[in-house]
A and B are shown apart, each in its own frame.
Chain A
Amino acid sequence: MIALQVENLCVKADNRHLIENITFSIEEGRIVAIIGPNGAGKTTLIKAILGLIPYETGTVSLFGRPFKNNHSVIKVGYVPQKLEFDRTIPLTVSELLGFTVPPVYMVPFMKRKGAREHIDGLLKIVGAQSLAQRSIGSLSGGELQRVMIAKAIVNDPKILFLDEPASGVDIEGQERFHDLVKRLNKEKGLTVIIISHDLNVVYRYADDVLCMNRKLICTGRPEETLTDEVIKSMYGEMMGAYIHSCHEHD
Protein backbone atom coordinates (compact mmCIF):
# COMPACT_ATOMS: atom_id res chain seq x y z
CA MET A 1 0.00 0.00 0.00
CA ILE A 2 1.12 3.55 -0.66
CA ALA A 3 1.54 5.28 2.67
CA LEU A 4 2.15 8.77 1.37
CA GLN A 5 1.51 10.19 -2.06
CA VAL A 6 2.51 13.74 -2.90
CA GLU A 7 1.72 15.18 -6.31
CA ASN A 8 2.82 18.46 -7.80
CA LEU A 9 3.17 20.17 -4.48
CA CYS A 10 4.05 23.86 -4.67
CA VAL A 11 4.37 26.21 -1.72
CA LYS A 12 4.78 29.92 -2.28
CA ALA A 13 5.61 32.74 0.10
CA ASP A 14 6.05 36.35 -0.95
CA ASN A 15 5.74 35.36 -4.60
CA ARG A 16 8.68 33.02 -4.31
CA HIS A 17 8.50 29.26 -4.58
CA LEU A 18 9.70 27.64 -1.39
CA ILE A 19 9.09 24.25 -2.93
CA GLU A 20 8.19 23.57 -6.52
CA ASN A 21 6.36 20.70 -8.19
CA ILE A 22 7.34 18.01 -5.77
CA THR A 23 5.98 14.58 -6.68
CA PHE A 24 6.84 11.34 -4.94
CA SER A 25 5.25 8.40 -3.20
CA ILE A 26 6.31 6.27 -0.28
CA GLU A 27 5.39 2.62 0.26
CA GLU A 28 4.07 1.59 3.62
CA GLY A 29 6.70 0.30 6.01
CA ARG A 30 9.67 2.14 4.54
CA ILE A 31 12.13 4.50 6.14
CA VAL A 32 12.73 7.42 3.81
CA ALA A 33 15.32 10.08 4.43
CA ILE A 34 14.90 13.57 3.00
CA ILE A 35 18.16 15.38 2.49
CA GLY A 36 19.11 18.74 1.07
CA PRO A 37 21.05 21.86 2.05
CA ASN A 38 19.80 24.36 4.60
CA GLY A 39 16.92 26.38 3.22
CA ALA A 40 16.13 23.70 0.63
CA GLY A 41 12.52 23.59 1.77
CA LYS A 42 12.58 20.29 3.66
CA THR A 43 10.73 21.64 6.68
CA THR A 44 8.33 23.47 4.38
CA LEU A 45 7.61 20.22 2.55
CA ILE A 46 6.76 18.33 5.73
CA LYS A 47 4.62 21.15 7.09
CA ALA A 48 2.70 21.36 3.83
CA ILE A 49 2.17 17.60 3.83
CA LEU A 50 0.86 17.79 7.38
CA GLY A 51 -1.50 20.63 6.51
CA LEU A 52 0.24 23.09 8.81
CA ILE A 53 0.93 25.58 6.03
CA PRO A 54 -1.23 26.16 2.95
CA TYR A 55 0.02 25.13 -0.46
CA GLU A 56 -0.51 26.75 -3.81
CA THR A 57 -1.18 23.62 -5.84
CA GLY A 58 -0.87 19.89 -5.46
CA THR A 59 -2.42 17.01 -3.60
CA VAL A 60 -1.34 14.97 -0.61
CA SER A 61 -2.84 11.65 0.30
CA LEU A 62 -2.13 9.41 3.23
CA PHE A 63 -2.92 5.71 2.96
CA GLY A 64 -5.12 6.42 -0.01
CA ARG A 65 -7.14 9.24 1.54
CA PRO A 66 -6.83 12.91 0.68
CA PHE A 67 -5.03 14.31 3.67
CA LYS A 68 -7.26 17.28 4.45
CA ASN A 69 -9.07 16.68 7.73
CA ASN A 70 -8.45 12.98 8.07
CA HIS A 71 -6.02 13.24 10.92
CA SER A 72 -8.19 11.39 13.33
CA VAL A 73 -8.44 8.43 10.96
CA ILE A 74 -4.74 7.88 10.43
CA LYS A 75 -2.51 8.45 13.38
CA VAL A 76 0.49 10.57 12.61
CA GLY A 77 3.55 11.23 14.74
CA TYR A 78 5.56 14.41 14.23
CA VAL A 79 8.72 15.81 15.74
CA PRO A 80 9.11 19.40 14.52
CA GLN A 81 12.53 20.88 13.92
CA LYS A 82 11.83 23.76 16.27
CA LEU A 83 9.14 23.40 18.87
CA GLU A 84 7.57 26.64 19.94
CA PHE A 85 5.84 26.70 23.29
CA ASP A 86 5.56 28.81 26.40
CA ARG A 87 8.50 27.76 28.56
CA THR A 88 6.75 28.93 31.71
CA ILE A 89 3.86 26.50 31.25
CA PRO A 90 3.45 24.33 34.36
CA LEU A 91 3.36 20.96 32.69
CA THR A 92 5.31 17.83 33.50
CA VAL A 93 6.78 15.50 30.92
CA SER A 94 4.43 12.69 31.92
CA GLU A 95 1.42 15.03 31.69
CA LEU A 96 2.51 16.11 28.21
CA LEU A 97 2.79 12.53 27.02
CA GLY A 98 -0.53 11.75 28.66
CA PHE A 99 -2.36 14.18 26.35
CA THR A 100 -1.65 12.00 23.40
CA VAL A 101 -2.63 8.70 24.97
CA PRO A 102 -6.13 7.69 23.87
CA PRO A 103 -8.95 8.07 24.73
CA VAL A 104 -8.63 11.74 23.96
CA TYR A 105 -11.78 12.80 25.73
CA MET A 106 -11.31 12.19 29.38
CA VAL A 107 -9.74 13.74 32.40
CA PRO A 108 -6.02 13.46 31.78
CA PHE A 109 -5.22 13.33 35.47
CA MET A 110 -7.19 10.14 35.79
CA LYS A 111 -4.61 7.65 34.63
CA ARG A 112 -5.87 4.92 32.40
CA LYS A 113 -4.72 1.48 33.39
CA GLY A 114 -1.40 0.78 31.74
CA ALA A 115 -0.98 4.32 30.43
CA ARG A 116 1.54 5.14 33.09
CA GLU A 117 3.62 2.03 32.31
CA HIS A 118 3.38 2.75 28.60
CA ILE A 119 4.65 6.31 29.07
CA ASP A 120 7.41 5.25 31.46
CA GLY A 121 8.47 2.52 29.04
CA LEU A 122 8.76 4.97 26.17
CA LEU A 123 10.66 7.49 28.25
CA LYS A 124 13.08 4.72 29.18
CA ILE A 125 13.61 3.81 25.54
CA VAL A 126 14.56 7.37 24.63
CA GLY A 127 16.68 7.66 27.77
CA ALA A 128 14.41 10.12 29.53
CA GLN A 129 13.05 8.00 32.37
CA SER A 130 14.41 10.39 34.98
CA LEU A 131 12.56 13.30 33.39
CA ALA A 132 8.98 12.10 33.91
CA GLN A 133 8.16 14.54 36.71
CA ARG A 134 10.27 17.43 35.42
CA SER A 135 8.47 20.47 34.12
CA ILE A 136 8.70 20.72 30.36
CA GLY A 137 10.12 24.26 30.36
CA SER A 138 13.09 23.24 32.50
CA LEU A 139 14.46 20.68 30.03
CA SER A 140 17.65 21.21 28.05
CA GLY A 141 17.53 21.04 24.26
CA GLY A 142 18.62 17.42 24.12
CA GLU A 143 16.25 16.37 26.89
CA LEU A 144 13.35 18.12 25.20
CA GLN A 145 14.15 16.44 21.91
CA ARG A 146 14.10 13.00 23.51
CA VAL A 147 10.79 13.76 25.17
CA MET A 148 9.29 14.98 21.90
CA ILE A 149 10.42 11.79 20.19
CA ALA A 150 8.68 9.76 22.89
CA LYS A 151 5.59 11.95 22.45
CA ALA A 152 5.58 11.34 18.70
CA ILE A 153 5.36 7.59 19.15
CA VAL A 154 3.28 7.39 22.32
CA ASN A 155 0.09 7.11 20.30
CA ASP A 156 1.24 4.21 18.15
CA PRO A 157 1.19 6.16 14.86
CA LYS A 158 1.15 4.54 11.44
CA ILE A 159 3.46 7.12 9.96
CA LEU A 160 6.14 9.21 11.59
CA PHE A 161 7.54 12.55 10.39
CA LEU A 162 10.84 13.51 11.94
CA ASP A 163 12.38 16.89 11.17
CA GLU A 164 16.04 16.64 12.14
CA PRO A 165 15.11 14.78 15.30
CA ALA A 166 18.63 13.98 16.39
CA SER A 167 19.89 17.54 16.60
CA GLY A 168 20.80 18.43 20.15
CA VAL A 169 20.96 14.80 21.23
CA ASP A 170 24.30 13.20 22.10
CA ILE A 171 25.80 10.48 19.88
CA GLU A 172 24.69 7.68 22.16
CA GLY A 173 21.16 9.05 22.30
CA GLN A 174 21.07 9.38 18.53
CA GLU A 175 22.12 5.79 18.09
CA ARG A 176 19.52 4.58 20.55
CA PHE A 177 16.85 6.66 18.86
CA HIS A 178 17.67 5.47 15.36
CA ASP A 179 17.69 1.88 16.56
CA LEU A 180 14.28 2.48 18.13
CA VAL A 181 12.89 3.87 14.90
CA LYS A 182 14.29 0.90 13.01
CA ARG A 183 12.75 -1.49 15.53
CA LEU A 184 9.30 0.13 15.35
CA ASN A 185 9.61 0.01 11.60
CA LYS A 186 10.45 -3.70 11.63
CA GLU A 187 7.99 -4.77 14.31
CA LYS A 188 4.98 -2.61 13.55
CA GLY A 189 5.54 -1.70 9.94
CA LEU A 190 5.79 1.97 10.90
CA THR A 191 6.46 4.22 7.92
CA VAL A 192 9.10 6.85 8.69
CA ILE A 193 9.99 10.06 6.92
CA ILE A 194 13.10 11.57 8.40
CA ILE A 195 14.94 14.75 7.53
CA SER A 196 18.57 14.33 8.35
CA HIS A 197 21.86 16.00 7.61
CA ASP A 198 23.79 12.96 8.63
CA LEU A 199 24.71 10.85 5.61
CA ASN A 200 25.80 8.01 7.88
CA VAL A 201 22.28 7.83 9.23
CA VAL A 202 20.90 7.85 5.73
CA TYR A 203 23.14 4.97 4.64
CA ARG A 204 22.56 2.91 7.75
CA TYR A 205 18.87 3.32 8.38
CA ALA A 206 17.05 4.60 5.32
CA ASP A 207 15.52 2.32 2.69
CA ASP A 208 15.17 5.24 0.30
CA VAL A 209 16.48 8.72 0.08
CA LEU A 210 14.86 11.79 -1.40
CA CYS A 211 17.19 14.63 -2.36
CA MET A 212 15.76 18.07 -2.79
CA ASN A 213 16.70 21.66 -3.22
CA ARG A 214 13.47 23.55 -3.72
CA LYS A 215 12.75 20.97 -6.43
CA LEU A 216 13.07 17.25 -6.17
CA ILE A 217 16.54 16.27 -7.40
CA CYS A 218 16.42 12.51 -7.20
CA THR A 219 15.02 9.58 -5.26
CA GLY A 220 16.04 5.96 -4.83
CA ARG A 221 18.13 3.67 -2.68
CA PRO A 222 20.83 5.58 -0.86
CA GLU A 223 23.79 3.64 -2.22
CA GLU A 224 22.61 4.09 -5.81
CA THR A 225 21.27 7.61 -5.49
CA LEU A 226 23.87 9.40 -3.45
CA THR A 227 26.59 9.60 -6.05
CA ASP A 228 29.39 12.11 -5.61
CA GLU A 229 27.79 14.19 -8.30
CA VAL A 230 24.43 14.44 -6.59
CA ILE A 231 26.02 15.30 -3.28
CA LYS A 232 28.20 17.92 -4.87
CA SER A 233 25.29 19.46 -6.71
CA MET A 234 23.38 19.76 -3.48
CA TYR A 235 25.99 20.72 -0.99
CA GLY A 236 28.75 22.12 -3.15
CA GLU A 237 32.43 21.23 -2.88
CA MET A 238 32.73 21.77 0.85
CA MET A 239 30.13 19.18 1.55
CA GLY A 240 32.01 17.18 4.17
CA ALA A 241 32.79 20.19 6.30
CA TYR A 242 29.27 21.51 5.79
CA ILE A 243 27.51 18.41 6.94
CA HIS A 244 29.62 18.13 10.03
CA SER A 245 29.34 21.72 11.06
CA CYS A 246 25.57 21.62 10.69
CA HIS A 247 25.43 18.59 12.74
CA GLU A 248 27.37 20.02 15.62
CA HIS A 249 25.76 23.45 15.61
CA ASP A 250 22.25 22.13 15.72
Chain B
Amino acid sequence: MNMISEFISYPFIQRALLASVMVGILCPFVGNFVVLRRMSFYSDAISHSAFAGIAAGALLGIDLSLSSIIVAILIAVIIAFLSEKTGLSHDTVIGIAFSGAIASGMLVMGMLKGYRADLFTFLFGDILAITDKDLLMIFIIGILTVIVLLTFLKPFLQITFNRDLARVEGTSVRFFEYLLFLIIAVVITVSLKIIGMILVTSLLIVPAASAKNLASSMKRLFVLSCVFGVLSGVIGLAMSIYLNTSSGPTIVLVSIMIFFLTLFSRGAVTKR
Protein backbone atom coordinates (compact mmCIF):
# COMPACT_ATOMS: atom_id res chain seq x y z
CA MET B 1 0.00 0.00 0.00
CA ASN B 2 2.76 2.36 0.96
CA MET B 3 4.53 1.68 -2.28
CA ILE B 4 1.40 2.56 -4.26
CA SER B 5 0.86 5.85 -2.45
CA GLU B 6 4.51 6.69 -2.88
CA PHE B 7 4.29 5.96 -6.59
CA ILE B 8 1.17 8.03 -6.98
CA SER B 9 2.91 11.00 -5.36
CA TYR B 10 5.26 11.29 -8.36
CA PRO B 11 3.93 13.96 -10.73
CA PHE B 12 4.86 11.97 -13.86
CA ILE B 13 2.89 9.00 -12.54
CA GLN B 14 -0.07 11.25 -11.80
CA ARG B 15 0.06 12.62 -15.31
CA ALA B 16 0.34 9.14 -16.75
CA LEU B 17 -2.61 7.95 -14.70
CA LEU B 18 -4.72 10.89 -15.77
CA ALA B 19 -3.74 10.37 -19.39
CA SER B 20 -4.58 6.67 -19.32
CA VAL B 21 -8.00 7.37 -17.81
CA MET B 22 -8.78 10.04 -20.42
CA VAL B 23 -7.56 8.00 -23.37
CA GLY B 24 -9.23 4.95 -21.84
CA ILE B 25 -12.57 6.72 -22.09
CA LEU B 26 -12.05 8.62 -25.33
CA CYS B 27 -10.65 5.89 -27.57
CA PRO B 28 -13.28 3.21 -26.83
CA PHE B 29 -16.06 5.79 -27.00
CA VAL B 30 -15.10 6.65 -30.56
CA GLY B 31 -13.98 3.08 -31.14
CA ASN B 32 -17.57 1.85 -30.80
CA PHE B 33 -18.30 3.49 -34.13
CA VAL B 34 -15.13 2.09 -35.65
CA VAL B 35 -16.24 -1.41 -34.62
CA LEU B 36 -19.91 -1.05 -35.59
CA ARG B 37 -19.05 0.47 -38.96
CA ARG B 38 -16.09 -1.83 -39.60
CA MET B 39 -13.60 0.96 -40.01
CA SER B 40 -10.50 -0.49 -38.38
CA PHE B 41 -8.55 -0.28 -41.63
CA TYR B 42 -9.44 3.39 -41.87
CA SER B 43 -8.32 3.88 -38.31
CA ASP B 44 -4.97 2.24 -39.10
CA ALA B 45 -4.52 4.41 -42.17
CA ILE B 46 -5.13 7.55 -40.14
CA SER B 47 -2.70 6.63 -37.38
CA HIS B 48 0.00 6.00 -39.98
CA SER B 49 -0.82 9.29 -41.70
CA ALA B 50 -0.49 11.06 -38.38
CA PHE B 51 2.94 9.55 -38.08
CA ALA B 52 3.86 10.86 -41.51
CA GLY B 53 2.69 14.23 -40.22
CA ILE B 54 5.00 13.94 -37.24
CA ALA B 55 7.95 13.20 -39.50
CA ALA B 56 7.04 16.18 -41.67
CA GLY B 57 6.74 18.38 -38.58
CA ALA B 58 10.18 17.32 -37.42
CA LEU B 59 11.65 18.11 -40.84
CA LEU B 60 10.02 21.52 -41.02
CA GLY B 61 10.66 22.29 -37.38
CA ILE B 62 7.02 22.90 -36.42
CA ASP B 63 5.06 21.55 -33.47
CA LEU B 64 4.71 17.78 -33.89
CA SER B 65 1.19 17.52 -32.46
CA LEU B 66 0.03 20.25 -34.80
CA SER B 67 1.64 18.78 -37.91
CA SER B 68 0.29 15.32 -37.12
CA ILE B 69 -3.28 16.61 -36.72
CA ILE B 70 -3.07 18.57 -39.96
CA VAL B 71 -1.78 15.63 -41.98
CA ALA B 72 -4.25 13.17 -40.42
CA ILE B 73 -7.19 15.43 -41.25
CA LEU B 74 -5.83 16.02 -44.73
CA ILE B 75 -5.61 12.28 -45.38
CA ALA B 76 -9.11 11.77 -43.91
CA VAL B 77 -10.48 14.34 -46.33
CA ILE B 78 -8.57 12.84 -49.26
CA ILE B 79 -9.94 9.37 -48.45
CA ALA B 80 -13.52 10.65 -48.23
CA PHE B 81 -13.14 12.72 -51.40
CA LEU B 82 -11.52 9.97 -53.47
CA SER B 83 -13.98 7.27 -52.53
CA GLU B 84 -16.85 9.59 -53.38
CA LYS B 85 -15.46 10.89 -56.68
CA THR B 86 -13.81 7.79 -58.10
CA GLY B 87 -16.36 5.17 -57.16
CA LEU B 88 -13.48 2.95 -56.03
CA SER B 89 -14.21 0.88 -52.97
CA HIS B 90 -13.45 2.45 -49.63
CA ASP B 91 -11.01 -0.33 -48.95
CA THR B 92 -8.96 0.39 -52.05
CA VAL B 93 -8.83 4.13 -51.45
CA ILE B 94 -7.78 3.63 -47.83
CA GLY B 95 -5.12 1.14 -48.94
CA ILE B 96 -3.68 3.71 -51.33
CA ALA B 97 -3.75 6.53 -48.78
CA PHE B 98 -2.23 4.18 -46.21
CA SER B 99 0.73 3.21 -48.40
CA GLY B 100 1.20 6.83 -49.46
CA ALA B 101 1.35 7.94 -45.83
CA ILE B 102 3.78 5.22 -44.76
CA ALA B 103 6.05 5.76 -47.74
CA SER B 104 6.24 9.52 -47.31
CA GLY B 105 6.69 9.17 -43.55
CA MET B 106 9.64 6.80 -44.09
CA LEU B 107 11.11 9.03 -46.78
CA VAL B 108 10.95 12.09 -44.55
CA MET B 109 12.39 10.14 -41.61
CA GLY B 110 15.37 9.30 -43.79
CA MET B 111 15.96 12.98 -44.50
CA LEU B 112 16.19 13.84 -40.81
CA LYS B 113 19.66 14.27 -39.40
CA GLY B 114 20.66 12.12 -36.46
CA TYR B 115 18.67 9.94 -34.11
CA ARG B 116 15.35 11.43 -33.09
CA ALA B 117 14.18 9.79 -29.89
CA ASP B 118 11.11 12.03 -29.76
CA LEU B 119 9.81 10.44 -32.96
CA PHE B 120 9.93 7.01 -31.40
CA THR B 121 7.64 8.29 -28.68
CA PHE B 122 4.97 8.60 -31.34
CA LEU B 123 5.77 5.24 -32.84
CA PHE B 124 5.44 3.23 -29.65
CA GLY B 125 3.91 5.73 -27.26
CA ASP B 126 5.36 6.77 -23.92
CA ILE B 127 2.81 7.52 -21.28
CA LEU B 128 5.48 8.49 -18.75
CA ALA B 129 6.76 11.26 -21.04
CA ILE B 130 3.41 13.06 -21.06
CA THR B 131 3.65 16.78 -20.32
CA ASP B 132 1.06 19.09 -18.82
CA LYS B 133 0.52 20.56 -22.28
CA ASP B 134 -0.21 17.10 -23.72
CA LEU B 135 -2.68 16.45 -20.91
CA LEU B 136 -4.46 19.72 -21.52
CA MET B 137 -4.73 18.97 -25.22
CA ILE B 138 -6.16 15.48 -24.66
CA PHE B 139 -8.57 16.94 -22.15
CA ILE B 140 -9.87 19.68 -24.43
CA ILE B 141 -10.09 17.49 -27.52
CA GLY B 142 -11.66 14.72 -25.44
CA ILE B 143 -14.36 16.96 -23.99
CA LEU B 144 -15.15 18.45 -27.40
CA THR B 145 -15.33 15.03 -29.03
CA VAL B 146 -17.59 13.57 -26.39
CA ILE B 147 -19.88 16.61 -26.54
CA VAL B 148 -20.17 16.43 -30.34
CA LEU B 149 -20.72 12.67 -30.32
CA LEU B 150 -23.32 12.82 -27.57
CA THR B 151 -25.17 15.74 -29.12
CA PHE B 152 -25.39 14.01 -32.48
CA LEU B 153 -25.57 10.47 -31.17
CA LYS B 154 -28.96 9.92 -32.80
CA PRO B 155 -27.86 10.72 -36.36
CA PHE B 156 -24.56 8.89 -35.84
CA LEU B 157 -26.44 5.79 -34.73
CA GLN B 158 -29.01 6.22 -37.49
CA ILE B 159 -26.38 6.14 -40.21
CA THR B 160 -24.72 3.22 -38.45
CA PHE B 161 -27.94 1.22 -38.39
CA ASN B 162 -29.07 1.82 -41.98
CA ARG B 163 -28.05 4.65 -44.29
CA ASP B 164 -31.15 4.50 -46.47
CA LEU B 165 -33.52 4.83 -43.54
CA ALA B 166 -31.40 7.60 -42.08
CA ARG B 167 -31.57 9.50 -45.35
CA VAL B 168 -35.33 9.09 -45.65
CA GLU B 169 -35.74 10.24 -42.06
CA GLY B 170 -34.01 13.48 -42.99
CA THR B 171 -30.49 12.89 -41.70
CA SER B 172 -27.66 14.25 -43.81
CA VAL B 173 -25.78 10.98 -44.16
CA ARG B 174 -22.86 12.54 -45.98
CA PHE B 175 -22.31 15.29 -43.42
CA PHE B 176 -22.35 12.95 -40.46
CA GLU B 177 -20.11 10.42 -42.16
CA TYR B 178 -17.53 13.13 -42.84
CA LEU B 179 -17.86 14.39 -39.29
CA LEU B 180 -17.29 10.90 -37.94
CA PHE B 181 -14.20 10.45 -40.16
CA LEU B 182 -12.88 13.72 -38.80
CA ILE B 183 -13.55 12.88 -35.16
CA ILE B 184 -11.82 9.52 -35.50
CA ALA B 185 -8.81 11.21 -37.09
CA VAL B 186 -8.53 13.78 -34.30
CA VAL B 187 -8.91 11.23 -31.51
CA ILE B 188 -6.26 9.00 -33.02
CA THR B 189 -3.86 11.88 -33.31
CA VAL B 190 -4.17 13.04 -29.72
CA SER B 191 -3.78 9.48 -28.46
CA LEU B 192 -0.66 8.87 -30.49
CA LYS B 193 1.84 10.09 -27.92
CA ILE B 194 0.35 7.88 -25.24
CA ILE B 195 -0.26 4.64 -26.99
CA GLY B 196 1.80 4.96 -30.17
CA MET B 197 0.99 4.77 -33.85
CA ILE B 198 1.23 1.01 -34.05
CA LEU B 199 -1.19 0.27 -31.24
CA VAL B 200 -3.64 3.16 -31.24
CA THR B 201 -6.17 1.25 -33.35
CA SER B 202 -6.11 -1.51 -30.75
CA LEU B 203 -7.23 0.85 -28.03
CA LEU B 204 -10.03 2.08 -30.26
CA ILE B 205 -11.20 -1.38 -31.17
CA VAL B 206 -10.44 -3.90 -28.45
CA PRO B 207 -12.42 -2.40 -25.52
CA ALA B 208 -15.32 -1.66 -27.88
CA ALA B 209 -15.26 -5.23 -29.17
CA SER B 210 -15.16 -6.55 -25.60
CA ALA B 211 -18.18 -4.42 -24.72
CA LYS B 212 -19.99 -5.64 -27.83
CA ASN B 213 -19.46 -9.21 -26.60
CA LEU B 214 -21.57 -8.46 -23.54
CA ALA B 215 -23.93 -5.65 -24.47
CA SER B 216 -27.40 -6.00 -25.92
CA SER B 217 -28.14 -2.29 -25.91
CA MET B 218 -26.31 0.83 -27.08
CA LYS B 219 -26.33 2.27 -23.61
CA ARG B 220 -24.50 -0.74 -22.25
CA LEU B 221 -22.11 -0.79 -25.19
CA PHE B 222 -20.97 2.77 -24.53
CA VAL B 223 -20.74 2.37 -20.76
CA LEU B 224 -18.95 -0.99 -20.85
CA SER B 225 -16.49 0.02 -23.56
CA CYS B 226 -15.35 3.01 -21.52
CA VAL B 227 -15.15 0.90 -18.35
CA PHE B 228 -12.96 -1.63 -20.19
CA GLY B 229 -10.87 1.17 -21.68
CA VAL B 230 -10.18 2.76 -18.30
CA LEU B 231 -9.49 -0.65 -16.72
CA SER B 232 -7.02 -1.50 -19.47
CA GLY B 233 -5.35 1.89 -19.16
CA VAL B 234 -4.98 1.88 -15.39
CA ILE B 235 -4.12 -1.81 -14.91
CA GLY B 236 -1.81 -1.71 -17.94
CA LEU B 237 -0.04 1.37 -16.63
CA ALA B 238 0.40 -0.12 -13.16
CA MET B 239 1.71 -3.37 -14.61
CA SER B 240 4.10 -1.58 -16.91
CA ILE B 241 5.59 0.35 -14.00
CA TYR B 242 5.76 -2.73 -11.81
CA LEU B 243 7.20 -4.99 -14.50
CA ASN B 244 9.24 -2.20 -16.10
CA THR B 245 7.71 -2.83 -19.53
CA SER B 246 6.60 -0.32 -22.19
CA SER B 247 3.26 1.19 -21.30
CA GLY B 248 1.53 1.04 -24.73
CA PRO B 249 1.94 -2.69 -25.38
CA THR B 250 1.13 -3.53 -21.75
CA ILE B 251 -2.11 -1.54 -21.87
CA VAL B 252 -3.11 -3.20 -25.14
CA LEU B 253 -2.31 -6.69 -23.83
CA VAL B 254 -4.47 -6.06 -20.76
CA SER B 255 -7.32 -4.94 -23.03
CA ILE B 256 -6.92 -8.11 -25.08
CA MET B 257 -7.09 -10.20 -21.92
CA ILE B 258 -10.34 -8.44 -21.07
CA PHE B 259 -11.55 -9.19 -24.59
CA PHE B 260 -11.01 -12.93 -24.16
CA LEU B 261 -12.66 -12.87 -20.74
CA THR B 262 -15.74 -11.22 -22.23
CA LEU B 263 -15.71 -13.58 -25.18
CA PHE B 264 -15.75 -16.62 -22.92
CA SER B 265 -18.41 -15.25 -20.63
CA ARG B 266 -20.62 -14.13 -23.52
CA GLY B 267 -22.54 -17.36 -23.77
CA ALA B 268 -23.60 -17.17 -20.14
CA VAL B 269 -24.40 -13.48 -20.22
CA THR B 270 -26.41 -13.07 -23.41
CA LYS B 271 -28.66 -16.04 -22.78
CA ARG B 272 -31.95 -14.76 -21.49
- Name A residues whose Cβ lies closer than 8 Å to a Cβ of B: 47, 50-52, 71-72, 75-78, 80, 83-86, 88-92, 95-96, 98-100, 104-109, 133, 135, 138, 151, 155, 161
Q: Is the CB of A90 within 8 A of B216?
A: yes
What's the minimum C-beta distance from A26 to chain B, rounded to whole angstroms?
Answer: 17
What's the minimum C-beta distance from B19 to chain A, rounded to whole angstroms?
Answer: 26
B152 at the interface (CB under 8 A from A): yes
B96 at the interface (CB under 8 A from A): no
Partner of B169, one of A47, A86, A155: A155
Sampled A-B contacts (12; CB under 8 Å): A71-B169, A83-B165, A88-B212, A89-B36, A90-B215, A91-B218, A99-B157, A105-B151, A105-B152, A105-B154, A107-B153, A161-B168
Q: Is the CB of B169 within 8 A of A76?
A: yes
Taking CB atoms, residues of chain B closer than 8 Å to A50 are 164, 167-168
Taking CB atoms, residues of chain A closer than 8 Å to B152 are 105
What's the minimum C-beta distance from A115 to chain B, rounded to whole angstroms?
Answer: 12
Interface residues of B: mostly helix, strand, loop or mixed? helix
Q: Is the CB of B217 within 8 A of A85?
A: no
Taking CB atoms, residues of chain B closer than 8 Å to A155 are 169
Q: Is the CB of B168 within 8 A of A76?
A: yes
Q: A92-B217, A99-B154, A109-B219 are in contact. Are A83 and B162 (CB under 8 A)?
A: yes
Known A-B contacts: A91-B161, A100-B158, A106-B154. Give 19 more (CB < 8 A).
A52-B164, A71-B171, A76-B168, A77-B168, A78-B165, A78-B169, A84-B162, A89-B160, A90-B218, A91-B157, A96-B161, A99-B158, A100-B169, A105-B151, A105-B152, A107-B153, A108-B153, A108-B154, A109-B218
Which B115-147 residues have C-beta < 8 A from chain A?
A: none
Roughly how many angstroms separate A133 CA and B217 CA in the complex, as a whole number?
8
Taking CB atoms, residues of chain B closer than 8 Å to A52 are 164, 167-168
Taking CB atoms, residues of chain B closer than 8 Å to A89 are 36, 160-161
Q: Across the interface, name the chain B residue whose C-beta is closest to A89.
A: B36
Roughly how many angstroms separate A91 CA and B221 CA in the complex, as a whole number?
9
Roughly how many angstroms separate A106 CA and B158 CA in the complex, as a whole number?
13
Roughly how many angstroms separate A50 CA and B169 CA in the complex, as a whole number?
10
Q: Is the CB of B217 within 8 A of A135?
A: yes
Q: Is the CB of A106 within 8 A of B218?
A: no
Q: Which residue, of A47, A80, A100, has the highest number of chain B Cβ atoms within 10 A?
A: A100
Enumerate the 10 nearest inter-chain pairs by beta-carbon distance, A residue then B residue, closest first: A71-B170, A72-B170, A90-B215, A135-B216, A78-B168, A92-B217, A90-B221, A99-B154, A108-B154, A99-B158
Q: A88-B212, A92-B216 are in contact. Are A104 and B171 (CB under 8 A)?
A: yes
Roughly how many angstroms separate A78 CA and B216 CA in the complex, as a whole number?
25
B150 at the interface (CB under 8 A from A): yes
B24 at the interface (CB under 8 A from A): no
B248 at the interface (CB under 8 A from A): no
Roughly how many angstroms separate A83 CA and B215 CA in the complex, as a whole number?
22
Q: Is the CB of B168 within 8 A of A71?
A: yes
Partner of B218, one of A75, A92, A105, A151: A92
Q: Which residue, of A72, A78, A91, has the highest number of chain B Cβ atoms within 10 A?
A: A91
Roughly how many angstroms separate A85 CA and B165 CA in the complex, as a whole number?
11
Q: Is the CB of A91 within 8 A of B217?
A: yes
Partner of A80, one of B161, B164, B215, B219: B164
Q: Is the CB of B161 within 8 A of A71?
A: no
B229 at the interface (CB under 8 A from A): no
Q: Is the CB of A107 within 8 A of B150?
A: yes
Taking CB atoms, residues of chain B closer than 8 Å to A98 are 154
Taking CB atoms, residues of chain B closer than 8 Å to A47 are 164
Q: Across the interface, name the chain A residue whose C-beta is closest to B158.
A: A99
